[in-house]
Amino acid sequence: QQEYINQLNEHHALQNISVHENNTVAAHDTQSTLDNVFRMLNALAVQTGIYACLFASHGHVYDTAQATWFGMDNVMDFWEDVLQMEADEIARKLEQWVCMAGQSVLLHFFTGYLC
């Protein structure tokens, strides 16, 4: 019985770090996770008064999830006022850069984290 429990735990661990079978599932998982991150950033801003923004993109041209951004309060004005770039343009450029680099930055993070 303990062996079955160990196999089940191993299976769950692999599912948590594995690549999704298709782009639709990956896009849904991405959006769900980003929604949670956005809520946490908002809560952190309320509690601590921080400013935060987040840009996210998949690392493959065939992914169905679009590059996205999130910013609280008026932090996104920073990009327009200081760098004269709108958030949508930054997200688009990030998406192009990630796809041209051929690898996801997140993949590098997890690879470094797991090693």
Write the pLDDT tens digit of every residue in 58-115.
766 666 667 888 888 788 889 899 989 998 898 888 888 887 776 554 544 443 433 3
pTM, rounded to two decimals: 0.60
Domain boundaries, the chain: 24-114
Number of other residues whose CB lies within 10 A of the CB of residue 57? 24
SS3 content of the chain, % helix, strand, coil (to 5): 65, 5, 30
pLDDT for 63 equals: 64
The alpha carbon torsion through 73, 57, 21, 3 (nearest 10 deg) reads -70
